[in-house]
Amino acid sequence: MKSYLVDSEGYYGEFGGAYVPEILHQCVSDLQEAYLPILESEEFQREFRALLRDYVGRPSPLYCARRLSERYGAQIYLKREDLNHTGAHKINNTVGQILVARRMGKRRIIAETGAGQHGVATATVCALMDMECVVYMGETDVQRQRVNVEKMKMLGATVVPVTSGNKTLKDATNEAIRDWCCHPSDTFYIIGSTVGPHPYPDMVARLQSVISEEIKGQLQEHVGRDYPDYLMACVGGGSNAGGTIYHYIDDPRVKIVLAEAGGLGIDSGKTAATIALGQVGILHGAKSYVIQSPDGQIEEPYSISAGLDYPGIGPMHANLAAQGRARVIPINDDEAVAAAFELTRLEGIIPALESAHALAALGKMDFRPEDIVVLTVSGRGDKDIETYLNYIKK
């Protein structure tokens, strides 16, 4: 049977691979050789699982959202990644990657960040493991996610503001790759999503797959079967979605619905809706869909949500969309903000702006009352309060 997981060459269908500059070739191929033996070793699994339980606070609850269910006419369960230490799913991945980095003898950690959640999660595990940490962050994001910048500094990280392009996640990633090229032997690049050259998309998806592993057991307990009718998640690069669907990806009983950032609308020129608008291209080391001009220049993306403000998407998700395995719905800024207020008032949960995109997709679905829906709340809204309040003032 055809699988939607990565193949032995590092591809998902036509997407993926490792397109890196010559200078990084050695360290990327070292990682390609090392990651599976490390992730599958008993010693790694023991340490990773213990940290997920005692440090991150897993398992995260699967919560039956009664009022939200009534509103949308289905049985809606929320996977509460917002309750993790540091407030999002990102910590699952950084805990795993820093254990890989240590086993590969690396001493210095670099990362890129958009909303600052991955930066905070990386700075957190660097403090925990006593490693040097440098985080690249676009100047625009430094301003709109100030509190996360202060947290990273308090945790001991160096935050480098990036002023190229539109000063957001794409530009921060360019700068992190530049740093990596200058320090390929002693530095480990902790990528925050299912993007980048092989093996990153697969490594990150495996580390996040604890989400769907838990959903299986929790659904069995709640509803007496271990699979839902629908899985829903937002997608920036694709890591919370990848973790949510991992153990169901080849199960045709489960429909996959992903929400991407429409910004001001997919025809407005101010958008980050990569599946709606992207063409096949290469960005940050992998072949995937990319929002680009006819002559191949990367277009500047836009979204109210710093975590989704990216002109690419992970190769796993590009393939799911291309094959029709996943439905991808663009959600505009105003729809996301409205969905965030709705969840807050219906369930007393203030979601991250990114997660609010997934919530807004509920309104675009045609559910039957008996449908079981699991939607991942990827993070909490604390970092977005200012944006929410400014938005409703307008």
List the catalytic residues: 90, 112, 378
Return the bridge partners of 112, or none.
Answer: 136
Query: Is 75 or 190 the residue whose CB approaches ligand PLP more closely?
Result: 190
Query: Is 117 or 271 the residue whose CB approaches ligand PLP more closely?
Result: 117
**Range in contact with ligand PLP (rule: CB under 6 A) among 216-224, 236-244, 261-269, 296-304:** 236-244
Nearest to 163 by CA among 186, 141, 130: 141
Tokens for 163, please give them: 């002023």
Q: Are 261 and 271 in contact (CB under 8 A)?
A: yes
- Our separate counts of H helices and E strands in the chain read 16, 14
Q: Minimum distance from CB of 137 to ligand PLP (Å)?
A: 12
Establish if 240 lies at the interface with ligand PLP (CB under 6 A). Answer: yes
Which residues ranging from 63 to 102 are in contact with ligand PLP (CB under 6 A)? 88, 90
**Range in contact with ligand PLP (rule: CB under 6 A) among 4-12, 233-241, 251-259, 264-272:** 233-241
**Range in contact with ligand PLP (rule: CB under 6 A) among 41-49, 114-122, 160-168, 277-285:** 114-122
Establish if 354 lies at the interface with ligand PLP (CB under 6 A). Answer: yes
Taking the mean position of all CA atoms in its chain, how far away is CA 263? 18
Where are any strands of DSSP class E within 173-245? 187-189, 230-234
- Cβ density class 37-48: b for 16+ within 10 Å, e for less: ebbeeeebeebb
Give the integer Cα–Cα distance in Å for 239 and 205.
6
Q: Minimum distance from CB of 23 to ligand PLP (Å)?
A: 26
Tokens for 124, please give them: 């957190």
Considering only residues 352, 360, 373, 375, which one is a binding residue for ligand PLP as defined by CB under 6 A?
352
Q: Minimum distance from CB of 41 to ligand PLP (Å)?
A: 25
Considering only residues 96, 165, 307, 315, which one is a binding residue for ligand PLP as defined by CB under 6 A?
307
What is the distance in angstroms between the CA of the first residue and the CA of the last residue of the chain?
A: 52
- Cβ density class 119-151: b for 16+ within 10 Å, e for less: bbbbbbbbeeeebebbbbbbbbbbebbeebbeb
Q: Minimum distance from CB of 25 to ligand PLP (Å)?
A: 26
Give the integer Cα–Cα distance in Å for 96 and 49.
9
Query: Is 75 or 336 the residue whose CB approaches ligand PLP more closely?
Result: 336
Give the integer Cα–Cα distance in Å for 49 and 13.
31
Establish if 277 lies at the interface with ligand PLP (CB under 6 A). Answer: no
Give the integer Cα–Cα distance in Å for 231 and 201.
20
Tokens for 177, please give them: 């790759």
**Range in contact with ligand PLP (rule: CB under 6 A) among 34-42, 235-243, 281-289, 293-301:** 235-243
Establish if 235 lies at the interface with ligand PLP (CB under 6 A). Answer: yes
Considering only residues 137, 234, 275, 290, which one is a binding residue for ligand PLP as defined by CB under 6 A?
234
Number of residues that bind ligand PLP (CB under 6 A): 21
Chain residues in the site for ligand PLP (CB under 6 A): 88, 90, 115, 117-118, 193, 234-241, 307-308, 352, 354-355, 378-379
